[in-house]
Structure 1
Amino acid sequence: MTAPRADCTADGEGRIGFDVTLPGTAEGWDAALLLRLRESDPEETVRLPLVPLPGGSDGSGDPAGSACSGAPGATVLRATLSGTTRLAEGRWDVFLVLDGGTPQRLPAGCYDLRALVDQVPPADRTRLEVRVPYTTKYGNISVRTWLRGPHAEVGEVWPADGGMTLHGRLYGAELTSGARLEARPRGAVGRLVTAPVDRQGTADFTARLAYGELLREPGAGDEWELWLRPGADAGPVRVARILDDIIDKHEVIRYPARPVPVPESGEGGETAGGGTVRARPYYTGTNDLSVRLERTAPKAP
């Protein structure tokens, strides 16, 4: 007997189709998917009705939008999450509800996420709502969502020569004179290091952050968040990378650590006491870009 599973197809407009394969016939069943926001209090949920696929109960007559073909002797029902349904930012676990019974976690099947790779939203989009279905470590299906506006999307990151060069694109606002990149030490309110922004039009930008400047803030800590201030009078925007199909970039994308020119010694990342400092750009668990200072103790004599 075929165990229930969900195949997913996502598009660049926020829509996700769930094709749920059930064993045997599902005629007359009251079936639905329940999306539940993890760690929400009060609990946030969205209910999506499951309906038979047009053109064939096993999905063979409706290939459009289906990630996988149906299994022989099984029934395939479809639920669609529309792009207009508002979902808070976070992780939404997907449950199967049959005939009013207890919601059960739903195992993941196949995915078609090609439309999410290297997305380029319209330039006039003021708010981005990104949804990416994925498989949890237990094999179940969940949906990671981001709700950002304005948003500064990371393009290329080049760590070299005692610093990092960042290319990106701004959505939901325009770059004006006075635009700058800001590095803020995590947990240290009021402190920051700034770098000028080279504007390419009103959306694309390039900025270079010198790692040595981070050491000029004693006691600021070793974790630095990166923000883009679009203009002198504009509010800061967190720099992140969310417009693709990789939900946990900190596990996939790893940038090299580079020596930090230390003011006391002048070069090589070596402090006056013999220890070293290296800097590494990295993505947080929410795919926001940050920089970590990695320090090593001096060698024993």
Structure 2
Amino acid sequence: MTTPRTGCAIDAEGRITFELPAAPGHRLLLRLRPKKGQPEDTLHVLDLDPAGEGRARAVLGTDPELAEGRWDVYLLDGTERTRLRPGPRDLRALVDGHLRERQGPLAVRVPYVTKDGYLALRTWVRPAHAEAGRVDVTGGTLRFEARLHGAALSDGAEVRLRLRRGEGAVRTLEPLAAEDGRSFSFTVDDPTLDPGIWDLFVRPAAGAPMIRLARLLDDVADRKHVFVYPGATAGSVEVRPYYTVDNDLSLEVTRAG
């Protein structure tokens, strides 16, 4: 059987409608991709309903909340499953998602095409979120803009850079907050940063949990190789911002030259 192509459309609330050629007796299966060496243990099944003109439709509502990760999409016939290839994807509702106010906890879904050409969903679930915005590289200075969703800045707010390896050295910066208490900016121009990967967090208030800076609120499921920035040279180090495979914002620090 030829693998059917499945179109999908998502609305601003995260509701996804799948449409494919009619397949009587079949259902749609979403499978959370397990980590390497781990068993498959999270599945979600959707009914397929007739949609007219030889088509079938399934709707993934905002409830239940899908766990964070990558979900593969299959056509399910009893116990037999066939992984689905993508048809048209309507992601227009996601393009300006960073402009809308969100409350915590934040649940994000982005349909995308895998490297081997199959349909999948990238999902994130965060208690609160700091959406990374503009990144400016000028000389030896990096300037970052971001906006909080599900939290607001108050006394004791700080941006924290944490070295990923070793004992996890930390640098603390003071964010420059906008009048609304949600948008903020900060600069990085520290020539004493050790070489390695530094992850970026914001603590919105003294004693509050750290919030990872990331770019999640648009239609780009994997931005690591899409948003590529030059480095800034500060003293004897070069600092280059980049997005991880999870769309989190980090810094790669290397010896200049």
> TM-score, normalised to structure 2's length?
0.92
* Partner of residue 29 from structure 2, selected from 34, 51, 69: 34
* Partner of residue 63 from structure 2, selected from 84, 88, 97: 84
Q: Percent identity?
A: 41
Q: CA deviation at 1:124?
A: 6.0
Q: Distance in 2 between matches of 1:161 and 1:4?
A: 51
Q: CA deviation at 1:191?
A: 2.1
Matched, 1:244 2:218: yes
Higher CA-based Rg? 1
Query: Against the structure 1 CA distance between its residues 208 and 296, is the aligned structure 2 distance closer, same or farther, given a 3 Å change threshold?
Result: closer
Q: Distance in 2 between matches of 1:296 and 1:88?
A: 40
Matched, 1:133 2:111: yes
Q: Distance in 2 between matches of 1:254 and 1:127?
A: 29
Partner of 1:278: 238
Structure with greater proportional strand content: 2
Q: CA deviation at 1:261?
A: 1.5
Task: After superposition, give the CA deviation of every residue in 1:24-76 in whole Å (9 maximum; x if it has no partner).
Answer: xx4xx2111100000164510000000011xxx22xxxxxxxxxxxxxxxx21
Judge conservation of contact 2:98–2:218 (CA < 8 Å) in 1.
no
Instruction: Give the partner amino acid of 2:60.
Output: L
Q: Distance in 1 between matches of 2:216 and 2:167?
A: 26
Gaps of 5+ in 2: none
Gaps of 5+ in 1: 59-74, 216-220, 263-276
Q: CA deviation at 1:286?
A: 0.1
Q: Aligned residues, how many?
A: 253
Partner of 1:267: none
Q: Distance in 2 between matches of 1:199 and 1:258?
A: 24
Matched, 1:103 2:81: yes
Task: After superposition, give the CA deviation of every residue in 1:164-196 in whole Å (9 maximum; x if it has no partner).
Answer: 111111111120022111110003345201111
Partner of 1:186: 164
Please tell me the root mean square deviation across aligned C-alpha atoms, in Å: 1.9
Partner of 2:253: 293
Q: Distance in 2 between matches of 1:207 and 1:87?
A: 33
Give secondary structure in 1 for the equivalent of 2:93.
helix
Query: Against the structure 1 CA distance between its residues 52 and 146, is the aligned structure 2 distance closer, same or farther, given a 3 Å change threshold?
Result: same
Q: CA deviation at 1:2?
A: 7.0
